């Protein structure tokens, strides 16, 4: 994408090879913008993927700060219960995710009982809890308790991610905490950015690929969010009308090479790196969704079948991408050291998901929680390849499972990154016409 300096001269073009990958920017642009993005957008508008259950009332676990955004556009409008499709909100329906999970727990209890009928009910329940603990030990997210009274369904289409006008001090504090305390620190720190809009300018040489990848994933997520805010900026706010649209000045302040002291182009490359990681996860998880018994259940049988077909079409398209990221280089060294690094990797990211409860703007908190849970699900998939390969064509999958929350977060998070790549083309066209 061509960026303009304050003098309206082209200052940087982000093209070519992406570090630690075999892919390039141009291949991703063509694949995403003209093949995948339109199909993915259609999927995310369906009932199954538009409703997300979230608890926006959880207190910040890291510092005492109860300040919340008072701007009207920061608010999130939850759905009345009767507006959510029955198949999503009711665990009593046969193919709902909650019912499916419950059935698996019952089958597991029966299996344990068959091994030793002398086990007490308390012991069997404890063993089921141990199984759940084992599942959580592979989780990269601090997920909400969807059964909490404070958890509510939100229609994502009615609460879009966009610039709300909120400029509270917690935004800088949160990102600073993420980069300084939860990203693996590189060896060389050159200088902080004076603008406060992005991470410090750093050198990643001499850092192992896993730690480089972790940093670039977080930077790519940050870049993606900044693109959304620049592309859907509040341009007009009067008593009669509100208008959102692309704000080129805001975009330049976040990504122009001169204004960001060389950091903008690197942030955009990290966005493309994030895209490749999430695309790779979609290609890997195809067997989980391709089982005949798997249902995206909302209660509308014909529509559910259509959405599953569309989902499989997207996953097959993701698998067909010619230059996937090779995750086999992750944690490939000494087994003991690799296991230690993987656990550190998991705990760092889990901490980042908890930080989302410190965001003062509720709409920003909603999308922050969803996107970090989606990225956490991506990591869970990539590190569960052996388990996914053992999934039977029919019956429950004991080794690898995804909840409905994880599924919705996974595809919506990738939808946000896919949208960012598409928005870069819009800004490219706008800036080209300004020259």
**Residue 52, strand partner residues:** 154
Q: What angle do CA 394, 400, 404 make, to 5 degrees?
A: 85
Contact between 234 and 221 under an 8 Å Cβ cutoff? The reply is: no
> Is 361 assigned a catalytic role?
yes
Residue 170 to residue 350: CA distance in whole angstroms: 19
Catalytic position from the list 69, 74, 79, 364: 364
- If you ran DSSP here, which 8-state letter would residue 58 be given? P
- The three-state secondary structure class of 116 is coil
Rounded Cα distance between 360 and 373, Å, is 18
CA 270 – CA 25 distance, rounded (Å)? 11
The sign of the CA dihedral 296, 301, 303, 306 is positive
What is d(CA 99, CA 117) in angstroms, rounded to the nearest whole number? 25
Coil vs helix vs strand at 20? coil
Across 123-151, b (16+ Cβ under 10 Å) vs e yields ebeeeeeebeeeeeeebbbbbbebeeeeb
- For the annotated binding site for FAD, the residues are 162, 164, 175, 219, 222, 254
Distance of alpha carbon 8 from its chain centroid, rounded? 34
**Mutual angle of helices 263-284 and 209-231, in 10-degree steps:** 100
Structure tokens at 46: 């369906």
Rounded CA-CA distance 44/415 in Å is 8
Binding site, by residue number, is 162, 164, 175, 219, 222, 254
CA-wise closest residue to 247 among 259, 257, 261, 233? 233
Kind and range of the H or E run holding 203: strand 201-203
Reply yes or no on whether 364 is catalytic.
yes
So which residues are the catalytic ones? 361, 364
């Amino acid at each position: 994408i061509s960026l303009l300096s304050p003098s309206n001269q082209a200052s940087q073009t982000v093209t070519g090879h992406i570090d630690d990958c075999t892919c390039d920017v141009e291949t991703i642009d063509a694949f995403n913008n003209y093949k995948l993005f339109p199909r993915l957008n259609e999927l995310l508008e369906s009932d199954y993927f538009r409703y997300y259950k979230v608890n926006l009332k959880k207190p910040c676990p890291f510092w005492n700060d109860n300040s919340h955004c008072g701007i009207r556009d920061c608010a999130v409008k939850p759905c009345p219960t009767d507006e959510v499709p029955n198949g999503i909100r009711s665990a009593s329906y046969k193919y709902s995710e909650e019912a499916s999970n419950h059935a698996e727990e019952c089958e597991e209890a029966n299996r344990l009982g068959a091994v030793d009928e002398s086990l007490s009910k308390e012991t069997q329940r404890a063993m089921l809890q141990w199984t759940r603990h084992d599942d959580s030990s592979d989780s990269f997210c601090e997920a909400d308790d969807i059964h909490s009274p404070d958890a509510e369904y939100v229609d994502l289409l009615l609460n879009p991610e966009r610039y709300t006008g909120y400029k509270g001090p917690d935004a800088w504090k949160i990102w600073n905490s993420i980069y300084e305390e939860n990203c693996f620190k590189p060896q060389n720190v050159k200088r902080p950015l004076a603008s406060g809009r992005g991470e410090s300018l750093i050198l990643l040489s001499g850092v192992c690929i896993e730690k480089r990848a972790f940093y670039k994933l977080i930077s790519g997520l940050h870049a993606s969010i900044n693109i959304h805010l620049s592309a859907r900026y509040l341009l007009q706010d009067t008593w009669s009308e509100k208008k959102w649209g692309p704000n080129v000045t805001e975009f330049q302040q976040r990504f122009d090479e001169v204004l960001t002291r060389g950091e903008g182009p690197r942030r955009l490359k990290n966005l493309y790196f994030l895209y490749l990681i999430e695309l790779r996860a979609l290609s890997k998880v195809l067997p989980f969704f391709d089982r005949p018994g798997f249902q995206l259940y909302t209660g509308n049988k014909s529509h559910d079948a259509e959405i599953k077909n569309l989902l499989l079409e997207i996953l097959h398209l993701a698998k067909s991408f010619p230059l996937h990221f090779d995750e086999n280089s992750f944690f490939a060294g000494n087994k003991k050291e690799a296991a230690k690094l993987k656990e550190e990797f998991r705990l760092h990211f889990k901490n980042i998901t908890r930080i989302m409860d410190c965001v003062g703007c509720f709409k920003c908190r909603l999308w922050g929680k969803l996107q970090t849970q989606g990225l956490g699900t991506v990591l869970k998939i990539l590190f569960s390849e052996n388990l996914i390969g053992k999934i039977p064509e029919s019956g429950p999958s004991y080794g690898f499972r995804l909840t409905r929350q994880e599924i919705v977060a996974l595809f919506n998070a990738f939808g946000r990154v896919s949208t960012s790549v598409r928005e870069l083309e819009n800004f490219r066209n706008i800036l080209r016409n300004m020259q």
